[in-house]
Every structure is written in structure tokens, then in C-alpha cells.
């Protein structure tokens, strides 16, 4: 099974066709890229936060450092496309997705660390699934770019999941993963009021 197939099997639902339709409307192209740029920036920032908060595990620190560099590279690539297309980098509010997904994160350690890593794995997995699903409907440049992201985003998913298992020190984390996957499925399939990279089903 390839990496994308593993991710599709891991997530509880696929991106609804209605999201794809909204994302490919020409009037939403700028917003898609702008929110995508913000997501890459946030992904880098989250990894750096983990490097600060949990020192000691060299494997984790190396993986997070590399991940942050890759996300910043993606951020630069999205900005390049925005600049070329004359899309202004405006301040927009983030969607509900990440903040809602983080709500069940436990407040004590090591639960907080394990859960944060699980959330990281799920966000990477969804991003990968969404890039793959929307790519065929985009113009050639975006299609090539989005497909080029699949490889690193799927590795990020695997890395986060591996680190979550390691952080749990032998405890079974399947139940925790399930908790977050169910919240995630709901965020993807339920009605949402604003279009973002990780938004649900748009209602006007
Ligand atoms: Fe990325
Ligand atoms: Fe990533």
C-alpha cells in the first residue's frame, strides 16, 4: 500500500466533493492559496513550539527541525505563486479546524504531548488527502505543486504518528487516535460558515 492509500485508510472520511467544488471556483483561488500559506507557516511554528517545550529526545528534535524547515519552504513556494498571480497577502482569521481539533488535548503530561503529536499526524494526513483530491481540478502549475507536496506531507504524518507512539512509552494510543479522528471527521463533514483549506461543507 502506498503512503496516500495508508492515509486514506487512516482518516475516517474523504474530502467531500462539495468542498472540492467550492475550492475550485475561480473566486476562491486567492483565498485557497492565502489560507494554504498560513497553514504552512502555522505547521512550522507548531513544530518549533514542540522543539522548545519538549527537549531531550534527539529523534523528535531532529524530525521537528526538518519538518519546520520543509513547512517554511512550502510557505515560500505558496507565496511565490501568490506574488506571481498578484494575490495580496491579507490578514485572515484561521478556520475552526485546528482549534476545534485541539480541544480534546489533555492538559497533563505526557498526555498533552501524545495528543498534540496525534493532532499533528491528523492535520498532515488531511492536508495530504486534500492536496491529492483537489489537484486534478486545478491549473497545471498548482496541480504540479500540490502533487509535489504529497511526499513530504505523508512523511510528516508518519513521523508524527511514530513520535506519538514513542511519547506514550508503550501505552496503547489507539483509543486516543480514535477520539481525534472522530472529531476530525465531523469537522470535515459538517456545515461550515467560511471557506478555508481545512473547512467543512460550506453553507451560504
Ligand atoms: Fe507543508
Ligand atoms: Fe507538513
Q: From ligand 2's centre to the CA of 15, what distance in Å?
A: 18
Q: From ligand 2's centre to the CA of 182, what distance in Å?
A: 21
Of residues 89 and 204, more confidence is placed in: 89
CA distances from 152 to 26, 55, 58, 61, 183 (A): 27, 24, 20, 17, 25
The torsion angles phi and psi of 45, rounded to 5 degrees, stand at -65, -40
Q: From ligand 2's centre to the CA of 87, what distance in Å?
A: 23
pTM above 0.85, yes or no: yes
Residues 138-157: tens digit of each pLDDT: 999 999 999 999 999 999 99
Residues 80-120: tens digit of each pLDDT: 999 999 999 999 999 999 999 999 999 999 999 999 999 99
* Ligand closest to the CA atom of residue 124: 2
Amino acid at each position: 500500500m502506498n503512503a496516500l492509500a495508508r492515509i486514506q485508510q487512516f482518516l475516517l472520511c474523504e474530502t467531500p466533493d462539495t468542498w472540492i467544488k467550492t475550492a475550485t471556483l475561480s473566486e476562491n483561488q486567492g483565498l485557497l492559496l492565502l489560507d494554504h500559506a498560513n497553514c504552512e507557516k502555522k505547521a512550522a511554528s507548531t513544530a518549533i513550539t514542540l522543539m522548545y517545550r519538549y527537549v531531550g529526545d534527539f529523534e523528535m528534535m531532529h524530525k521537528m527541525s526538518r519538518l519546520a524547515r520543509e513547512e517554511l519552504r512550502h510557505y515560500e513556494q505558496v507565496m511565490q505563486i501568490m506574488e506571481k498571480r498578484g494575490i495580496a497577502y491579507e490578514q485572515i482569521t484561521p478556520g475552526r479546524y485546528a482549534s476545534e481539533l485541539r480541544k480534546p488535548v489533555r492538559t497533563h503530561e505526557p498526555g498533552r504531548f501524545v495528543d498534540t503529536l496525534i493532532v499533528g499526524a491528523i492535520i498532515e494526513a488531511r492536508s495530504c488527502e486534500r492536496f491529492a483530491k483537489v489537484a486534478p481540478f486545478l491549473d497545471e502549475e498548482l496541480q504540479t505543486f500540490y502533487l509535489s507536496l504529497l511526499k513530504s506531507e505523508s512523511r510528516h504524518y508518519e513521523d508524527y504518528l511514530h513520535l506519538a507512539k514513542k511519547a506514550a512509552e508503550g501505552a496503547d494510543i489507539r483509543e486516543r487516535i480514535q477520539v481525534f479522528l472522530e472529531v476530525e471527521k465531523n469537522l470535515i463533514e459538517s456545515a461550515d460558515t467560511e471557506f478555508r483549506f481545512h473547512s467543512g461543507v460550506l453553507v451560504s
